[in-house]
Amino acid sequence: TQSRSSAASDVYKRQVEKLREQAGAINLERREDGSYGYAAEYVVRVRNTGTVDGKYAQIWDAPIRGAGFTVEQVEVEGKAVDPQSGRYLISEPADLKQGASRDFRVKVTGSVTEAAANALPVAVGQCDAVTPENPGAGSGLVNTVSMNGDSDGPANNIVCAPVELRRLNVEKRIDGRPEAVVKPGEPMEIWYRVRNSGNVTLEGVTLADTVTEGSEALQAEITEKLAAIKPFNLAPGEIRDERIIVTAPEGKHVDEVVAEVPPVTTIPGTTIPGTKVTSTATAGSPRLEVKKFINGRDVHALVKPGEDMAITYRVTNTGSVRIDGIRLTDQVQEDNAELQRAVDAQLGKVAPF
């Protein structure tokens, strides 16, 4: 009897659970084709919690994909695993001694379309509604593990991680235009608009503006004005406008603004890369030169009273911007009303150019 009682109490129990390898959210990184890539690392742990040695069943991993999310590869202990009806085999059945456990490291990599990234809700709260019974209820990245005979149920078989899109946009205008015409020596306004187009708050945003073509004096003035703008934070969807007034230089200048978010260390050893975006605006000052010839000469022209004389005007745009609507007038310096009327009549036939 004693022997039968002892045998009855010898029970093999196997449990499986899923853990995030790293804490925090999953950060999307933009690719050259416009999509976004992601990588998530997990630990699948199987344990023998019974009183005797035994063998656990097959262990399967199943990423839950939202619209626009694609699983590109699943690796188990560094080796790629092929999908089988949307699931990935983590381990075949294997022996496990009483009280022992075994860990499998799983890495899931994939992509997200730009449309899906744009539709992401704010990262906070993405996983609140996710449960083992309803794993697709949230908008985070969900991954589940399963094993026949799992003695502690599905509650610890699911992991949900919020998906973060750290994205920034910047626009720049000079006197309200991306290509402006300014007057040298007069004030000109440089306007910057920075927008958080991601789904997580961005902290420590800074602005820098480099005059890639133009004057050193303008660069010094811009740098001084921007130094007064302290780093700022932007909530998802938030917009911030900054304006500075500087002195317009002569000639053309091309300015490139850089809006930057510094790298973020979430936990020791885990750093999210910084974000940097640029925008360019140009400005130039108009400048004209005009030269006048009488009978082909600009000085000491010889004319005969009563005969026709040819007046030629040569107009040159020596500035850095296109000039439209130019009109010509010619003031006769001597008191000669008849000549003035004749000049005015001929110039009146010249359309603005």
The phi and psi torsions of 117 (rounded to 5 degrees) equal: -65, -40
Distance of alpha carbon 206 from alpha carbon 344, whole angstroms? 58
Supply the pLDDT for residue 269: 63
Q: What is the CA radius of gyration of the chain?
A: 37
Do β-strands 275-284 and 168-174 pair in parallel, antiparallel, or remain unpaired? unpaired
Structure tokens at 192: 């910057």
The per-residue pLDDT for 58 is 96
Overall residue count recorded for the chain in this entry = 353
Euclidean distance between CA atoms 297 and 291, whole angstroms:
10
Query: Where does the chain have alpha helices with state H?
Result: 2-9, 114-118, 216-227, 337-347
Question: How far apart, in whole angstroms, are the C-alpha atoms of residue 231 and residue 229?
Answer: 7
Strands 141-147 and 158-161, sheet pairing = antiparallel
**What pLDDT is attached to residue 6?**
44
Phi, psi at 266, each rounded to 5°: -80, -50
244, 222 in Cβ contact below 8 A?
Answer: yes
Residues 6+ apart with CB under 8 A from 88: 60, 61, 62, 63, 74, 76, 81, 82, 106
Which residues are CB-contacts of 226 (< 8 A; sequence separation ≥ 6)?
Answer: 207, 208, 209, 244
Mark 61-94 as b/e (b = at least 16 C-beta within 10 Å). Answer: bbbbebebbebeebebeeeebeeeeebbebbeee
Per-residue pLDDT of the chain (353 residues; tens, 9 = 90+): 344 444 445 677 889 898 887 767 889 999 989 899 999 999 999 999 999 999 999 999 999 877 889 999 999 999 999 999 999 999 999 999 999 999 999 999 999 999 999 999 998 889 998 888 888 888 889 999 999 999 999 999 999 999 999 999 999 999 999 989 888 899 999 999 999 999 999 999 999 999 987 789 999 999 999 999 999 999 999 999 999 999 998 888 899 999 999 988 766 567 778 889 999 998 887 778 999 999 999 888 888 888 999 999 999 988 777 888 999 999 998 888 999 999 999 999 999 99
Q: Which pLDDT score, from 0 to 100, does residue 267 have?
A: 63
Burial 49-60 (b: 16+ CB within 10 A, else e): ebeeebebbebb
Q: Which residues contact 110 (CB under 8 A, 6 or more apart)?
A: 37, 38, 63, 65, 69, 70, 71, 72, 73
Question: Biggest alpha carbon distance in the chain?
Answer: 147
For the sheet with 187-196, list strands across it: 168-174, 187-196, 239-247
Contact (Cβ atoms closer than 8 angstroms) between residue 211 and residue 218: yes
Q: Among 164, 169, 191, 161, which Cα is nearest to 261's?
A: 169
Distance of alpha carbon 71 from alpha carbon 285, whole angstroms: 54
